[in-house]
Every structure is written in C-alpha cells, then in structure tokens.
Amino acid sequence: MDIPKGRNTANVGIGIQGSKSGNVRAITLLQNYLKNYLPEAKIIEMVVGGVPACGQIKQTISDGLMLVGDAARQSDPLTGAG
Ligand SMILES: Cc1cc2nc3c(=O)[nH]c(=O)nc-3n(C[C@H](O)[C@H](O)[C@H](O)COP(=O)(O)OP(=O)(O)OC[C@H]3O[C@@H](n4cnc5c(N)ncnc54)[C@H](O)[C@@H]3O)c2cc1C
C-alpha cells in the first residue's frame, strides 16, 4: 500500500501472515515492490513489527488482571490497526 505524504515522499508498506507466507520474507516482497513500481525511490526510514492477527482470546479479565490492546488480541486482523 502507498500513502502519499507530499511531493516526493510516501509511506509504502506491506503486511503478511507469517503462518501462510512460507519462506518469503516481508522485506523481500517490499524490496521487489519498490524495484518494480518505484525504482527511483530511496528508503529514508523503516518501521517494522508484529501485529497479533489470530483473533480474539476467550477471556481478557481475571482477578486483578485486565488485558487490553495487543495483549488481548484486540487488533483488527484485516487492517492490522490496533
Ligand atoms: C508497523 C506497524 C504499524 C502499525 N500501524 C498501525 C496503524 O496505522 N494504526 C493502528 O491503529 N495500529 C497500527 N499498528 C498496531 C498498533 O501499533 C498496536 O496494535 C498498538 O500499538 C497496541 O498497543 P498496546 O498498548 O496494546 O501494545 P504496545 O504498543 O505494544 O505497548 C506495550 C508496551 O508494553 C511495554 N512492555 C512490554 N513488556 C513489558 C514488561 N515486562 N514490563 C513493562 N513494560 C513492558 C512495551 O515496551 C510497550 O511499550 C501498527 C503496528 C505495527 C507493528
């Protein structure tokens, strides 16, 4: 996905599901994308990380404990938004 940020910059990102991507790494797919579609582009910053996309867990509270956010698996599995 490309999100333009100005005349010469854009956020370019990719999300893959580790359990289904085999031996293909996200960085390789992203580099291939840049090579094919934005060959002049230079990477000026990288942000990487994992998003839990396994669906909700059954219980997020217990005595003296409440899970929220990623710990409670509350991120959107389609967009990765948390
Ligand atoms: C590359 C990337 C891009 C994303 N983009 C978006 C986006 O555009 N929009 C969106 O809505 N979401 C986005 N997300 C998802 C979003 O960042 C997360 O869902 C959200 O930050 C989860 O918040 P959280 O507070 O649950 O967990 P976190 O933000 O992971 O916070 C947990 C905190 O606990 C701390 N911690 C861990 N262990 C301990 C410990 N033992 N003791 C004390 N502190 C500890 C950690 O250092 C961290 O500060 C993105 C995620 C990634 C990886």
Residue 81: what pLDDT? 83
Residue of 12, 14, 46, 51 to mutate, ligand 1, most atoms within 8 A of C-beta: 51
pTM over 0.75, yes/no: yes
Contacts for 57 with CB less than 8 Å, ≥ 6 apart: 67, 72, 73
Using DSSP bridges, classify how beta strands 2-4 and 61-62 pair: parallel, antiparallel or unpaired. Answer: unpaired
40: CA distance to ligand 1 center in Å? 32
Residue 4: what pLDDT? 79
Residues in the chain: 82
Residue 18: what pLDDT? 83
For the stretch 2-37, pLDDT in tens is 777 888 899 998 888 888 888 899 999 999 999 999
User: Is the distance from the beta carbon of residue 80 to the nearest atom of ligand 1 less than 6 Å?
Assistant: yes
pLDDT at residue 45 greater than cutoff 90: yes
User: Is the distance from the beta carbon of residue 64 to the nearest atom of ligand 1 less than 6 Å?
Assistant: no
Q: Are 60 and 72 in contact (CB under 8 A)?
A: yes
User: Is the distance from the beta carbon of residue 1 to the nearest atom of ligand 1 less than 6 Å?
Assistant: no
